Structure formats: C-alpha cells, structure tokens
Amino acid sequence: MSSLLQNYNRSKLSFKKGKGSFLFSTNGKKYLDFVQGIAVNSLGHANPKLINAINKQSKKIWHVSNAFTIPEGEVLAKKLTKISFADAVLFQNSGAEATEAAIKVARRYFFSKGKKNKNRILCIKNSFHGRTIAAINASGSKKMMEGFGPKIPGFDHFKFGDHKKMEKLITKNTAGIMVEPILGEGGIKVIPTSCLKELRKLCNKKNILLILDEVQCGIGRTGKLFAFEHSNVKPDIVPIAKGIGGGFPIGAVLMTNKIAKSMKPGSHGSTFAGNPLAMSVGNAVIDQIHNKKFLKNISKLSMYFIDELNKIKKKYPNIIKDIRGKGYLLGIQLFKDQTKFVNKLKDKRLLTIKANENVIRLLPPLNVKKSELKIALNIINEVCSKL
C-alpha cells in the first residue's frame, strides 16, 4: 500500500530510464513517450546537453539565496528578454506559481498607479492555470474548486468564444485578461489569431493588461518560441514553466518594463526560485530551442504529423471528431470518452494523456524524429482499425 497521498489516479506503470522519445519500464518494456511529463521534457529524456549542464553546475553550486546575485539567472533572464517582448523576468518554480505571480504583478501595476480597485482578472471558464488557491479560482472550474472554498473574489469568467459575455464582464475594475493561447488541459483549443488580435486591441482600448499563459504552449512547443507569436500580438505579461526546465522544475513570468517597475524589493519572493542548478538547466534548454533551424524543423515535421493524423481521421470518421492544436501541442478529439483508446495505445506502447472534451493529447519531445512520428501514426491507425 502506497504511503503517497492518493490525489492521482496513477497507472501501475513505472520506469527505470528514458532516452530521447522513449521510456523503459521497470518490467522491461519500451514505450514511445508522447506525454513527456505533460509537455515538460521539451528535449526528450536524458538529453546529453542538459545532463552535461546539470552535472557541471552540481559540482559548483546548487543553491544560494536570492539575497545574492545569481549569475546563471542573470544570463537566462538576459536571454529571455533579448528574444521576447519582455524587459524583465521573475523566476519561479512551477506553472501555478508563475500564473499566481502574473496575477500579482498585474494587480501591483494598477496599485502603483493609485488604482487600487482595478484588480479583477478575467479568464476563460474551465481553462487551466494551476492548482493553487488563486489559480483554481482563475481557472473557473467547479471540479477543481470542489472542497476548496470559499471562492475568492477578483475573478470573472466567460465561456471560450463568448466574446459578448467577455466584453460585458469588463468593468473599470478589470486589471487583466488571462488566457492560454491554446487551452491545454481544456482540450487543445486554439484561440484563433483574429481573436487574439482583437483581444489585444480591446485591452489597449480599456487599459487592461493582456496576460498570456504559455506554461504549456510556450518554449517552442508550437514551432515558435511562444504560441502568441503565431498571432503577432504583444502581450504584457507571460507566465511560462514546463518546457523551459526540460524536466527540471522552473517557472517564470515575463513582463514589460512598465509592469516590472511597479514591483519593489520585498513585493514578491521565493526561496528556491531561480537557483543556480535550475538556471543552468534553463540556459541549456533555451540555447537548444531558440534556434531558427530547430524551430523551423518543429513546424515542418509537425505539419507532416498533423496531415497524417487528418488522413487517419478521414479513414475513421465515426471515431475521430477532430485533430486539434499546433506544432507538438496536439489533440485527437474522439466522439466518445477517450479512456479506452488511451489504454489501447498504451498496450501498443504509445503513451498519451487525456484532456477535456474527449481529447487525447500528443506531446512528443520537440526533437522527435520522423521515424518516431511514423511509429505513433501506425499505432493510432491500428487502434482505430480494431475499435
């Protein structure tokens, strides 16, 4: 009997090692891993450059307090600002901490302008921003909130695509609109380019900050460094996590200078955030992903994969309802509950993970090979043919 808190419906499957796109189970089986820690291992398992970075750093220094300068963090922050809209970076340890901090900096910005009541955050109902108290309130999911009341004030929600309701909910007290450019847990739902552009315009018009949660869709996952780049919009605040650590827990909030200026020494902090060990891994991840050729290859290969998935959809129009997503943040939406399908894929040694709306998420590492995509396609095809 496990002594772990039973807050997950865990599979009995466990692993002894991983290499690139593959995992090797403790009972001697090889699996193609298209979960990758839920879009975390952006460069696959046991990436040699990441191993080298962490080994090197581990012999020097693991952790120092943020009371001191951390050169590895200075370097990573500089890189992130150089390659993005941001002027400043706040490191955190996870996605939920990053979205929490994003909410904090948005509120603090208006507070510093003397607008103390401009603090409400508008979000999509049943989106996913993490599991802290603020993050579950932001996500607006009844299921996630169950037993964790009281509901905290300061959050408003509209249904995905309900622009009218969204505009109605905007008041003089709205500080920020926080959305995922692609809803991950919500079922790989892409916010169309035109909507993101309109959202930006609306935020400008109403003096509201645009917070784009790129925890799941950022850091190369969609073939651009950030998913919002597909729409050519410039956000104000962007929480990231998952892919930036390549398997090491890192979160961060990117923000423009005007917002950064409202945060003062002491207004936010975290013991572990941005420690040298984390930062050395983050630097090695960014150095590999922020590379034109690497990102272009994601776009090219993922297009092939999406095309092939659509061919399978066409072949099995009664099983597959939709192929969703961008790059390697992909979903196969079924007409029925997807649990059986996911288990059949697992039996054939392809690991995938569920999302809302009967969606099976496919999250290969960003350096997945074409031959590995072909293995996955064959397995998906086979499962469809025998359903």
Ligand X SMILES: Cc1ncc(COP(=O)(O)O)c(C=O)c1O
Q: Which residues are catalytic?
A: 128, 213, 242
**Quick one: which segment of 18-26, 213-221, 293-301, 372-380 binds ligand X (CB under 6 A)?**
213-221
Least distance from C-beta 346 to ligand X, angstroms?
20
Q: Which of 20, 184, 187, 276 binds ligand X (CB under 6 A)?
A: 184
Structure tokens at 288: 């590999």
Long-range contacts of 270-273 (CB under 8 A, 24+ apart): 270/66, 270/91, 270/92, 270/93, 270/97, 271/65, 271/66, 272/63, 272/93, 273/66, 273/90, 273/91, 273/92, 273/93, 273/97
Least Cα distance to 105 among 262, 327, 339, 279 occurs for 262
How far is the C-alpha of 128 from the C-alpha of 22, rounded, in Å?
Answer: 28
Q: Is 365 in the site for ligand X (CB under 6 A)?
A: no
- Evaluate whether 242 touches 95 at the Cβ level (below 8 Å): yes
Cβ(53)–Cβ(45) under 8 Å?
no
Residue 101 or 342: the one with the smaller Cβ distance to ligand X is 101
| Between 200 and 242, CB nearer to ligand X | 242
Of the candidate spans 17-25, 177-185, 274-282, 341-349, the one that interacts with ligand X by CB under 6 A turns out to be 177-185
Q: What residues from 70 to 99 belong to the interface with ligand X (CB under 6 A)?
A: 94-96, 99
Residue 213 as a binder of ligand X (CB under 6 A): the answer is: yes
Q: Which is nearer to ligand X, 94 or 367 (CB)?
A: 94
The one segment of 61-69, 127-135, 154-162, 167-175 that binds ligand X by CB under 6 A: 127-135
Q: How far is the CB of 247 from ligand X (least distance, A)?
A: 12
Q: Which of 185, 236, 308, 357 binds ligand X (CB under 6 A)?
A: 185
Return the exposure string of 97-110: e unless at least 16 CB atoms fall within 10 Å of the residue's CB, then b.
Answer: bbbbbbbbbbbbbb
Which residue has the closest beta carbon to ligand X? 95
CB 341 within 8 A of CB 387: yes
Question: Strand ranges (DSSP E) for 97-243?
Answer: 120-124, 155-158, 174-179, 182-183, 189-190, 209-212, 237-240
Shortest Cβ 4–ligand X spacing (Å): 17
- State in angstroms the smallest separation of the CB of 45 from ligand X: 19
Distance in Å, CB of 63 to ligand X, minimum: 20
Shortest Å distance, C-beta 273 to ligand X: 13
> How far is 292 from 206, CA to CA, in rounded Å?
36
Q: Is 5 exposed, middle or buried (0-12, 13-18, 19+ CB in 10 A)?
A: exposed
Out of 33, 72, 156, 180, name the contact with ligand X by CB under 6 A.
Answer: 180
Least gap, CB of 361 to ligand X (angstroms): 11
Distance linking the first and last C-alpha atoms of the chain: 34
Q: Return d(Cα 24, Cα 18) in angstroms, integer.
A: 6
> Binding residue for ligand X (CB under 6 A) from 34, 91, 110, 128?
128
Which amino acid is it at 202? Answer: L
Q: Which of residues 234-253 bind ligand X (CB under 6 A)?
A: 241
CA 179 to chain centre: 12
Whichever of 95 and 235 has its CB closer to ligand X, that residue is 95
Which position among 76, 215, 284, 359 is part of the footprint of ligand X (CB under 6 A)? 215
Nearest to 259, CA basis, from 267, 248, 250, 251: 267
Q: How far apart are CA 60 and CA 71, in angstroms?
A: 13
Choose the binding region for ligand X from 64-72, 210-218, 289-297, 347-355 (rule: CB under 6 A): 210-218
Min dist CB 218 to ligand X, Å, is 9
Phi, psi of 17 (to 5 degrees): -160, 165
- Of 84, 216, 280, 358, the one binding ligand X (CB under 6 A) is 216
Nearest in space to 47 (alpha carbons), one of 292, 368, 278:
368
How far apart are the C-alpha atoms of 175 and 257, rounded to whole Å?
A: 17
* Closer residue to ligand X in complex, CB, 38/133: 38
Binding letters toward ligand X, positions 11-50, x by CB under 6 A: ---------------------------x------------
Residue from 20, 130, 282, 331 touching ligand X (CB under 6 A): that is 130
Q: Contact positions toward ligand X, by CB under 6 A?
A: 38, 94-96, 99, 128-130, 180, 184-185, 213, 215-216, 241
